[in-house]
Structure 1
């Protein structure tokens, strides 16, 4: 009977330890995982494409991605910005500068926690990322010249 009690106690300790080290959001760490890949080369009249997207780092409140892309469009690259947008209203990010040829850009998407608090939202689930090459002439948005939507489920939670 004493051995059985000891075994049960050890099992409870192991289960409590495993629960304590689990990520709060329940998602696994996808760092280093390729979440999108297209192997084909540009085929005329195509002038822009996303080649690959890799998760660099992921937390409950942020996501850092490396985007591998090819840009050969007639629109001057100085007038183009590459955005990565989750399907939710609670985010903040910076665009990736675009260069001609095959390139890599890094983007950080962060949770806009203050807005979530104002709206009394504790967590928000997203299901996709929109990658958009947007054309900006000086002081003016001229529209998107290429978009790619990729599935990516994530539960975003604040630091609190």
Structure 2
């Protein structure tokens, strides 16, 4: 059963302005014995399935996510995730849930336990989505511009 709740997220730390990121680094706990929450894992990016919010770049460094058709930056639409938490001590876990229960409440496995993010163009829903064609991005972009011109 899906139990949705509204939460506030903040951008991945490496995408924040340098001065803000420096202040957060100074605030973050230096050792595991500190009871303060970690900004990146506990306060900014909610794990699990979500609509909207921000992408988690923990497996790769952030890179520009611009829509090939118009050059506009993509925004996250939906995330499907293999787990609903960051382990059994996940600070995002609802208080009413058993803290010792598995973070795998959904029963979905994506790859080796990852997430699938879908993005959209914020300028227009009419802009074509990039194809899942496996060809280089610039070739896909040329194909879409040609198709849009013919349409």
TM score, norm. by length of structure 1: 0.24
Q: Which has the larger radius of gyration?
A: 1
Higher strand share: 1
TM score, norm. by length of structure 2: 0.25
